[in-house]
Amino acid sequence: MEKKPVTIGILVNPRKEQILIPLQILDEWKKENSAREISVLLCPFDSPFIQPGQFPHLIIQPVQKIIESADLILALGGDGTILRSVQFIGRRQIPIMGVNLGGLGFLAETSPEEVIQHVENFLNGACVVERRSLLQCEVLDSDEKYFAFNDFVVDKAGFSRVIEIVTRVDGKLLNSYIADALIISTPTGSTAYSLSAGGPIVVPETNVFIVNPICPHSLTNRPVVVPDNSTILLTVYTEFKEIKLFRDGQLMKSFPNGTRFKLSRAPFVVKLVKMQDKSFYETLRSKLHWGEDFRDKKRWSYQNGKNQSE
């Protein structure tokens, strides 16, 4: 890949002071590799932690200039920073490498200490670029269209009573959910809000979407997995003045009673850079602490062959 000039763009979470650690590492790396045809562009997003001239070997650019020229995006922050980066990148499908400065980090698997090694792996082709599907949501009877990496949620907008979400898949009635909200999730989003609402964990390469009601009135309602080449039509009814649409945890807009949404697979993908020695199953075991024993064995009556109550 380095046989031609390479441009690396850096997008940051401006609220995290921890971004300074990988930025300093990348600045030193660029200084030491000044002879290589690599440009490193940084969009600070008005971060209060980044001062003018602090990283002299990184070129400050607005986000749109970076998106126009980058061959790789480094998202410094956590999974939320990757979600934000996806919205900037849109249809350009630039590979994204997440540098985890947060907590859970399902998507951002590179640590600050590994950032140079992982960038070099990318430049040398020694990594995996996964193609992750997105959801497209069209608001019928309007020209509004949104894209989500994790999920869309139609929500009762803080009203005390449930809403009705009539859900059709490829024209066939699935259910008229009476619930607080409904999540439509990608496989990537299966470990996000949908998981908290009792949804299944889905391997990212699986070509499906998850339809998952939140607090349904009927206890027999359960998450349903549908093929991702399906078209999902939602018609939402409320006794309140509005319902709300969320994308990847962010409020998009409020809509009136009877609004119809058409959801389908987006015509482009997200490219996530992953290391060859890490698998999704390893991430699950690590992040969800599977197989670990959380019991406090010191509280047991017997320890070291001695009864502690004596």
pLDDT of residue 173: 98
pLDDT of residue 308: 44
Task: Give the tokens for residue 215.
Answer: 């607090």
> pLDDT, tens digit, for every residue of 39-83?
999 999 999 999 999 999 999 999 999 999 999 999 999 999 999
pLDDT of residue 299: 57
Q: What is the mean pLDDT of residues 284-292?
A: 84
**How large a percentage of the chain has pLDDT more than 90?**
82
pLDDT of residue 1: 52
Q: What is the mean pLDDT of residues 229-239?
A: 98
State yes or no: is 293 an active-site residue.
Answer: no
Tracing tokens 């600045």 back to the chain, one arrives at: 27
pLDDT of residue 105: 74
Largest Cα–Cα separation, the chain: 75
The DSSP bridge partners found for residue 271 are 131
> pLDDT, tens digit, for every residue of 129-138?
999 999 999 9
Which residue out of 27, 46, 71, 79 is catalytically annotated? 79
pTM comes to: 0.89
Looking at 119-123, 216-220, 282-286, which range is the least confident one?
Answer: 282-286
Judged on CB neighbours under 10 Å (0-12, 13-18, 19+), 164 is middle
> pLDDT, tens digit, for every residue of 299-309?
555 555 554 44
Q: Angle formed by the axes of helices 20-32 and 115-123, to 10°?
A: 50
pLDDT of residue 10: 98
Q: How confident is residue 162, by pLDDT bands cut at 50, 70 and 90?
A: very high
Helix (H, G, I), strand (E, B), or coil: what is residue 96?
Answer: strand
The DSSP bridge partners found for residue 236 are 165
With a cut of 90, say whether residue 293 has pLDDT above it: no
Q: How confident is residue 296, by pLDDT bands cut at 50, 70 and 90?
A: low
Give the other-Cβ count within 10 Å of 119's Cβ: 24
Give the other-Cβ count within 10 Å of 258's Cβ: 11
**How large a percentage of the chain has pLDDT more than 70?**
93
Identity at 152, one-letter amino acid code: F
Contact 13, 81 (CB under 8 A): yes
Angstrom distance (rounded) from CA 111 to CA 107 = 12
Q: How confident is residue 310, by pLDDT bands cut at 50, 70 and 90?
A: very low
With a cut of 90, say whether residue 277 has pLDDT above it: no
Q: What is the mean pLDDT of residues 93-106?
A: 88
SS3 labels along 171-184: CEEEEEEEECEEEE
Looking at 173-177, 255-259, 298-302, which range is the least confident one?
Answer: 298-302
With a cut of 90, say whether residue 92 has pLDDT above it: yes
Tracing tokens 């969800």 back to the chain, one arrives at: 288
Instruction: Give, for 167, the enclosing helix (H) or strand (E).
Output: strand 163-169
Contact 207, 229 (CB under 8 A): yes
Judged on CB neighbours under 10 Å (0-12, 13-18, 19+), 161 is exposed
Helix (H, G, I), strand (E, B), or coil: what is residue 152?
Answer: strand
| Cβ-Cβ contacts under 8 Å for 156 (sequence gap 6 or more) | 162, 163, 180, 181, 238, 240, 243, 244
Task: Give the tokens for residue 302.
Answer: 């017997």
105 or 89, which is more confident? 89
pLDDT of residue 306: 53
Residue 298 backbone dihedrals phi, psi, to 5 degrees: -70, -20
Q: How confident is residue 291, by pLDDT bands cut at 50, 70 and 90?
A: confident
Residue 31 backbone dihedrals phi, psi, to 5 degrees: -60, -45
pLDDT of residue 48: 96
Long-range (24+ apart) CB contacts under 8 A made by 277-283 are: 278/109, 280/203, 280/204, 283/106, 283/109
Average pLDDT, whole number, for the chain?
92
